[in-house]
Amino acid sequence: MTKRETFTLLALIAVYYEQFEVNQEKIDTWHKALKQYSYEELEENLLAHVAASPYPPKVAQLIQKKQVDSRAIPSLEETSQLIQMETKPAQSSVIEMELEKMRSILDIRRE
């Protein structure tokens, strides 16, 4: 991301949040933190932040990765792909070692 894009992003934040002030120091420091990210990605994260918060974002809030919804139900196509994936079974020695760990945790003795 260029310094000009950093300015553009900060100016956009100032449009959404009137209390947010843009100055040269802020442009320089934010650019140091954001230069490795793409403008498009940060703009998308800003728009998501604007929809969810009445407060201006911090740098960390703009660079957060999107959270994956763990409750998402896979579609029929996704389920079919998952079923067809070939998985390599664990070796019997590994299975036995893990079972032994569970037995020791649960204090189960084999006789």
In a domain, 92, yes or no: no
Specify the pTM: 0.58
Q: pLDDT tens across 62-99, in order?
A: 998 655 556 778 888 888 888 888 778 889 999 999 99
Cα dihedral 12/16/18/23 (nearest 10) = -20
pLDDT in tens, 3-46: 999 999 999 999 999 999 999 999 999 999 999 999 999 999 99
Q: Would you give the distance in Å from CA 19 to the centre of its chain?
A: 28
Residue 66's pLDDT is what? 58
> Within a domain: residue 31?
yes
Q: Is residue 108 part of a domain?
A: no
Report how far residue 5's alpha carbon sits from residue 2's, in angstroms, rounded to the nearest whole number.
5
pLDDT of residue 67: 56
- For the chain, how many structural domains are there in total? 1
pLDDT, position 84: 84
Tell me if 70 is assigned to some domain: no
Q: What is the CATH number of the domain that holds 44?
A: 1.10.8.200
- Domain housing 35: 3-63
In-domain check, residue 36: yes
